[in-house]
Amino acid sequence: MKDLLSVGDLSRERLFRLFTLAADLKQRWKAGRRAAPLAGRSLALIFEKPSLRTRVTFEVGIVQLGGRAVYLSGNEIGLGTRETVPDVARNLSRWVDGIAARVFAHATVQGLATHASIPVINGLSDFEHPCQALADYFTLWERGVDLASMRMAWIGDGNNVCHSMMLAGALVGASMVVACPPGYEPDAGVQAQVRALGGRLQVTTDAREAATGADVLYTDVWVSMGQEAEREKRREAFSRYQLSERLLGFAKPSALVMHCLPAHRGEEITDAVLDGPRSIVLDQSENRLHAQKAVIFELLGGSLDDA
């Protein structure tokens, strides 16, 4: 595996290998074992979109592994305007050991990978968010959830995070029910890919149907960055898809609540659910660090003997 652009780049075996590696690196760090297996390595962070979790976890992650991060905002590079994507990829390949990119168009991260001779990690594109899905399923795995028998309900927009969660769900054997308003369903091609992988997927417009009997309920914002012009239209379309205490009541009594953050409190999720006893959103957030450390470690050639 040279790059991580999509969950589709992973096999079931490699996904669970990354879970095991993330758990190992997490345990070592919390035990105070401050090794530097990637000493002297550097990771360029290309961010067309601002971020809290993605920037901090990638930057801190490479530092905890002994390397360094170089942050490059969209204004500094001007991908596709000031410099072409191929030129940026080729130049960075001469200076750093890897690239993590948080971009708008998925074609941008694909172009970086095509023209770079170093590993490229998709830190988010409008089509997928593989690092989020990796961290989320790792969070469930480390809690001892039986992923193969799990029913996950996705409530809301069939967006980039949904795509990655669907693909990862197919790899781990989970059942996933996606409830979206008409016209906001996950990409048809991703649905076909999930089913080709043997994934158990159902897409519905009924949030209650999706939540009934669920082990996990997951939601995301209704209006993502770049969709601000659609705010009122989306708020109206998604008004019946709020993850509330009432909707949570249709799930199993032991059901867990997930959100990739940031949350628009009072829109896609209520305070009572987000801050409630079933919420594991901060575990997800923390595990972005450990899951991404595993990806960086794997792609940049780290050795556990040095960790």
Q: Which distant-in-sequence residues (6+ apart) come within 8 Å of 87 by Cβ?
A: none
Identify whether 137 is part of a domain: no
Give the pLDDT of residue 229: 83
pLDDT digits (tens, 9 = 90+) for 192-233: 999 999 999 999 999 999 999 999 999 999 987 777 888 889
The residue assigned the tokens 């905002």 is 73
Q: Are residues 204 and 275 in the same domain?
A: yes
Identify whether 91 is part of a domain: yes
Give the pLDDT of residue 247: 98
Q: Are residues 115 and 210 in the same domain?
A: no
Indicate the Cα dihedral angle 128, 284, 68, 295, nearest 10°.
-60
Identify whether 59 is part of a domain: yes
Q: Are residues 180 and 262 in the same domain?
A: yes
Q: Are residues 55 and 171 in the same domain?
A: no
Copy the structure tokens of residue 93: 């390949």
Identify whether 171 is part of a domain: yes
CA 177/CA 209 separation, integer angstroms: 9
Q: Are residues 109 and 26 in the same domain?
A: yes
Number of domains in the chain: 2
CA 69/CA 63 separation, integer angstroms: 7
Q: Which of 165, 146, 140 is nearest to 154 (CA)?
A: 165
Identify whether 135 is part of a domain: no
Extended beta strands in 193-267, E state: 200-204, 216-219, 256-259
Contact between 269 and 220 (Cβ < 8 Å): no
Q: Are residues 156 and 267 in the same domain?
A: yes
Tell me the CATH number at 254.
3.40.50.1370
Give the pLDDT of residue 306: 72
Q: Are residues 262 and 195 in the same domain?
A: yes
Give the pLDDT of residue 1: 79
Q: Are residues 172 and 118 in the same domain?
A: no
pLDDT digits (tens, 9 = 90+) for 27-41: 999 999 988 999 999
Low-confidence ranges of the chain (pLDDT < 50): none
Copy the structure tokens of residue 55: 């920037």
Q: Are residues 173 and 62 in the same domain?
A: no
Identify whether 136 is part of a domain: no
Identify whether 37 is part of a domain: yes
What is the domain extent for residue 188? 144-279
Q: Are residues 123 and 185 in the same domain?
A: no
Q: 3-state DSSP: the chain helix, strand, coil percent, rounded to 5?
A: 45, 15, 35
CA 128/CA 140 separation, integer angstroms: 20
Contact between 78 and 47 (Cβ < 8 Å): no
CA 153/CA 107 separation, integer angstroms: 29
Q: Are residues 240 and 261 in the same domain?
A: yes
Q: Are residues 47 and 78 in the same domain?
A: yes
Question: What positions carry a catalytic annotation?
Answer: 102, 129, 132, 220, 260, 288
The answer to whether the predicted template modeling score (pTM) of the entire model surpasses 0.75 is yes
